[in-house]
Amino acid sequence: MMAEPIQRNKVEFWAATTIYVFALFSLSIDYSPNEYPFKEVNLVYHYYEHFFWPQLVRFTIIYLAFLLLNFKVVPRLMRKEAIWGNAMLVLLAFVAVGIVTGIADTYFRGYLMARYDSVQDFWNYIFQSSLQNTLRLLLVFGFYTFIKYFGLYLLSNSAAIQSKYKMLTQEVITTFMVWLVSVFILVVFNVGEEITAIWTIVSLSAILLYFYSFYALIPKVLAAKRPLLAYELRVLLILVLSYLPAAFLLLPMVHNEDAAFGISFFNALFQLVITGPATWVLYQRQLKGKEEVFVLKKELGHSAANLDFLRSQINPHFLFNALNTLYGTALQENSERTAQGIQMLGDMMRFMLHENHQQRTLLAREIEYMRNYIDLQLLRTSASPDILIETNIEEVLDQKYIAPMLLIPFVENAFKHGISLQHKSWIRISLHCEQNKLYFDVYNSTHKKSENDPEKDKSGVGLKNVKQRLELLYPAKYDLIIRQTPEEYFVHLTLEL
């Protein structure tokens, strides 16, 4: 509770500074509320001497006193640091504001001198009034400080409070503190008894009805056959029972029975027509949102369970051990090509099982995986003289990162659709980086598919998925161009890493 959050200090500072600036701005308006009293007693009135400078001094000393007390003195007192010294600062601030505003009032209210027999009597009245007003400001500041620290205490202990009283959530406490401050501001600025009374009773009733309905009333009526009707009837009953108590509470504020009962009736009508239905709608929206979240979590749980099941079916250690055994057997039998293929397949599987789960991987590792894939394909196609595979893949030594498995689908697509054992085929792959940009090109030949080919009308391997990933992971940072002719398929990707 004693901590001073920087963000809250900033809000308070700029709020106070804004009020101070607006007060100074009001002095620039050609309006002098004290001009007429001077002329009424036949005294010469000077705008700057009797209005501008006195008010400027008054606003400035009050603003500086607030900054000193709010940001320096009170926090130290709350932490029990140098209590007597800080208490003396409070007293000095009180005296300084009282004396300075008193001096300013000798000019601002100079017309009162005509009412007194001597200058001393005039000064006594001015400085007594100034000290009384300063005391009132100090009490107002004390009430503001109490509201602030009491609210911070409640918010910092909201979890413990809610464990005992379920309805006293952090949202409830925050709303109540905002309501208390709003009523306090209306009282300080003296906007009028009726306006203050209306706002106080209507806003407080709306807050109480909203939270009571949200956490207690609506959950109880959901099981009814007509829950909305049951809810509205209960709200109506609550408002009928609270009509007379609300009117009696308003009597000390408005000092008029007719006004008190009128405001109470308006409050009941407002809660029945506005607050009650609005609370029902908001609760239904939250309930719908919770149901959607529950369904998503359930589906996600099923997906995760299925994924874990699939992973459990393939034990990586068993696969790697089996591949190592086959690799050793191939070397013993002098089958170098087989051994090379097994080694490359093992490296690819290791990349897919481990690094593919990361959000980003080194570009060098992604390129290594691509090279292994191409080399593995070359073992299959190198025996055919009609198949040409050309690669120009630049080595990347910098620590550049990329989303894993982002480039390989284009290469897989080229080998799947660009290679034919019956026709001349070719694939050209190039990759290079300049600063933070990656340039990737894949060309491959295309061949007319037979009518019986089950993949005749299917697009490239994973291309739709790659486009979605590019849009999600690299929005406005990539340029993908895909062109297709009867003889050639071309992909160009420019990516900002």
* Same domain membership, residue 471 and residue 376: yes
CA distances from 457 to 32, 291, 390, 399, 452 (A): 85, 40, 27, 40, 11
Report the phi/psi class of residue 377: left, alpha or beta, with left for phi > 0 and alpha for psi in -120 to 50. alpha
* Same domain membership, residue 381 and residue 275: no
Q: Which domain-ending residue is among 282, 310, 338?
A: 310
Question: Whole-angstrom Cα distance, residue 371 to residue 220?
Answer: 65
Question: Does residue 497 have a pLDDT over 90?
Answer: no
Decide if 335 is inside a domain.
Answer: no
Question: Does residue 443 have a pLDDT over 80?
Answer: yes
Question: Which residue, chain included where needed, has tokens 């940009």?
Answer: 437
* Same domain membership, residue 108 and residue 27: yes
Question: Whole-angstrom Cα distance, residue 345 to residue 324?
Answer: 11
Decide if 50 is inside a domain.
Answer: yes
Question: Does residue 375 have a pLDDT over 50?
Answer: yes
Residue 23 exposure: Cα atoms within 13 Å on the Cβ side: 17
* Same domain membership, residue 360 and residue 218: no
Percent residues over pLDDT 70 in the chain: 78
For residue 271, what are the domain limits? 197-310
Rounded to the nearest 5 percent, the helix, strand and coil shares of the chain are 70, 10, 20
Question: Whole-angstrom Cα distance, residue 259 to residue 190?
Answer: 18
pLDDT, mean over the chain: 80
Averaged pLDDT for residues 134-139: 86
Which of 37-51, 94-108, 330-344, 470-484 has the largest mean confidence? 94-108
Decide if 170 is inside a domain.
Answer: no
Q: Which domain-ending residue is among 132, 156, 180?
A: 156
* Same domain membership, residue 151 and residue 19: yes
CA distances from 275 to 20, 100, 171, 270 (A): 36, 49, 17, 7
* Same domain membership, residue 25 and residue 152: yes
Percent residues over pLDDT 90 in the chain: 18
Question: Does residue 444 have a pLDDT over 50?
Answer: yes
Decide if 189 is inside a domain.
Answer: no
Residue type, 317: H
Number of domain units in the chain? 3
* Same domain membership, residue 284 and residue 142: no
* Same domain membership, residue 140 and residue 40: yes
Condensed to tens digits (0 to 9), the pLDDT of residues 116-133 reads 888 899 999 999 999 998
Nearest-Å Rg of the Cα atoms of the chain is 40
* Same domain membership, residue 24 and residue 75: yes
Question: Does residue 415 have a pLDDT over 90?
Answer: no
Averaged pLDDT for residues 160-176: 71
* Same domain membership, residue 257 and residue 147: no
**Among the listed residues 199, 161, 192, 163, the one whose alpha carbon sits nearest the alpha carbon of residue 178:** 199
Decide if 333 is inside a domain.
Answer: no
**Among the listed residues 110, 182, 100, the one whose alpha carbon sits nearest the alpha carbon of residue 137:** 100
The tokens for 53 are 């400078």
* Same domain membership, residue 147 and residue 202: no
Decide if 340 is inside a domain.
Answer: no
* Same domain membership, residue 489 and residue 367: yes
Condensed to tens digits (0 to 9), the pLDDT of residues 58-80 reads 989 989 998 999 889 988 888 88
Decide if 124 is inside a domain.
Answer: yes
Q: Which domain-ending residue is among 252, 280, 310?
A: 310
Condensed to tens digits (0 to 9), the pLDDT of residues 253-310 reads 787 888 889 989 999 999 999 999 999 998 888 888 877 777 777 666 666 665 555 5
Condensed to tens digits (0 to 9), the pLDDT of residues 378-403 reads 877 776 778 888 888 888 777 888 88
Averaged pLDDT for residues 325-329: 60
Averaged pLDDT for residues 187-194: 64
Condensed to tens digits (0 to 9), the pLDDT of residues 202-250 reads 988 998 898 888 888 898 888 888 888 999 999 999 999 999 988 888 8
Decide if 474 is inside a domain.
Answer: yes
Averaged pLDDT for residues 468-485: 86
Q: Are strands 425-434 and 437-445 parallel, antiparallel or unpaired?
A: antiparallel
Q: How confident is the model at residue 6 (pLDDT cuts 50, 70, 90)?
A: low
Question: Which residue, chain included where needed, has tokens 């009491």?
Answer: 150
